[in-house]
Structure 1
Amino acid sequence: MDQENVSATLTVAVPAARVFAVLADPAAHAAIDGTGWVQKAADRAPLTEVGQIFRMDMYHANHPNGDYQVANQVQVLDPPRAIGWLTGQEKDDGHLEFGGWLWRYDLAPLGPSETEVTLTYDWSAVPQSIREYIQFPPFGPEHLTNSLHHLAALVSGPTTTG
């Protein structure tokens, strides 16, 4: 695959600010995830600034440990229009190391109560040393579509999240 990112778009019948609020809540990420890999937020504080770190407990059958944790660093925070983060891990010495892949949501208000949401997974900054043992993208394109449908269900439901 020559392209180094994949994206999907869905229109939801809620204001952009509501969509952004759900995306900025790490506790909602497990319910949004289209693969089932995200288990729960280890850090539950809302995402409020670029550089903020938040950790997620994960599970993947092909991961050496099965259960593992990722550390995410907020890279984009432009309420209510865009939010994105790099995913990495914390090493034994406490140092954070990011693999070069970015998750980003872009929100385009289509009126007072409708929003076009685009989810992009970008691996263009992944170094060759990681590409040697992880295939990109590490999931099918339906993952992004599934995630957007899960997000739509969350934002259309009651105002509280998990």
Structure 2
Amino acid sequence: MPEKNGVSYSAMLSGYIGIRDFMSAWKVLDEMVTLAMKMGYSEDIVIGTVILNVFTLKDAVALYRQVPEQTVETLIAMMTIYAQSGRIVEARQVFNDIRNLNALSWNTLLAGYIHNGMIEEAKKLFKQMPTRNVASWAAIISGLMHNGQSVESLELMAQIID
């Protein structure tokens, strides 16, 4: 194929998944990530988005288990998939497997807890975070608001201002 685009990559990826050829699917995914990064997108966003949109949970787990070398990005993508599927225990297990936790890994688990209505766990995790960024604060404040804890949400906003 002289020129590949998002449609052709998605078709190839779906085809490989359909015939359960996960190693070829991974190679296509790697090409997609490389192309997207050249276009200015970050690797972790691309991997997570592609996996969430193309794979079923069963296929994503199968691919995840066959990845030759787990990176922080693939682990975070898997955390996202588990959390979005309501499998927060598995998301936490993946989080625990990450050797070099970064802000994105902490924020992903935080968002997973909030997404699954586990606001007390989210608050505990937020307090444990070694560093917090804008995404961390936005996630916990919005999570508190959406879960009826507006006073606590306002208290956190006040901490930002101080």
- Name the TM-score, length of structure 2 as normaliser: 0.27
Larger Rg: 2
Higher relative contact order (CA 8 A, sep 6+): 1
What TM-score does the superposition give when structure 1 sets the normalisation length? 0.27
